Amino acid sequence: MSRLSTISKETLNDAQRAVLEAIESGPRGKIGLAGPFGVYVRVPGVGNAVQNLGAAVRYNTELPENAKEVGICTVGAFYHAKFEFAAHAALASHAGVAADIIEAIRVGEEPVFVLDDERIAYQVARELLARHRLSDATYQSATSILGETQLIELVITIGYYTTVSMTLNAFAVPLREGMRDPFPDF
């Protein structure tokens, strides 16, 4: 159960409604107040900026979708962010990430990767989350595999989804109907 008071589209003020309209008029579609968006619309000045960053990292990068989703799932699993992991595990699968990799990330085991871009996305995310920086070896490997532009995009994506995961966890944002709880012990 969410820690926040219940809101609906009908109870939003003009500024909040504008944020929701910005969210729903983009590539996300009619997502409504699900997930972090029900939090972000409450604070239009910051919430609109955050949702714009989210749209940029989801839809306006050169980073391959499979690698991006591995990075996002790694963040979601690290924070045990139920909504985030459940939503992005499905997107990772759709992007071609193998089910055994998604499951290993979920349970905190080291996945066995076939694709270098997925492996390095996982490694970059894990190092940033655990050590708060990248080793020289990981940085060199990442720039060799992804190039500088995609590495920058990956790091920004990891930062954004860290914000999303903290938002979801702080306010106990519930799963949508039909989502399976990936972390029932949390």
pTM: 0.95
Q: CB-based burial of residue 174 (10 Å sphere; 0-12 exposed, 13-18 middle, 19+ buried)? A: middle
Q: CB-based burial of residue 101 (10 Å sphere; 0-12 exposed, 13-18 middle, 19+ buried)? A: buried
pLDDT tens column, 135-155: 999 999 999 999 999 999 999
Give CATH superfamily name and number for 65-170.
AhpD-like (1.20.1290.10)
- For the chain, give every domain's residue range: 9-59, 65-170
pLDDT tens column, 50-102: 999 999 999 999 999 999 999 999 999 999 999 999 999 999 999 999 999 99
- Going from the C-alpha of 58 to that of each of 68, 69, 72, 79, 186, the distances in angstroms are 8, 9, 10, 19, 27
Q: CB-based burial of residue 130 (10 Å sphere; 0-12 exposed, 13-18 middle, 19+ buried)? A: exposed
Instruction: Return the residue matching tokens 């306010």.
Output: 171
In 18-158 the beta strands, taken as DSSP E runs, fall at none
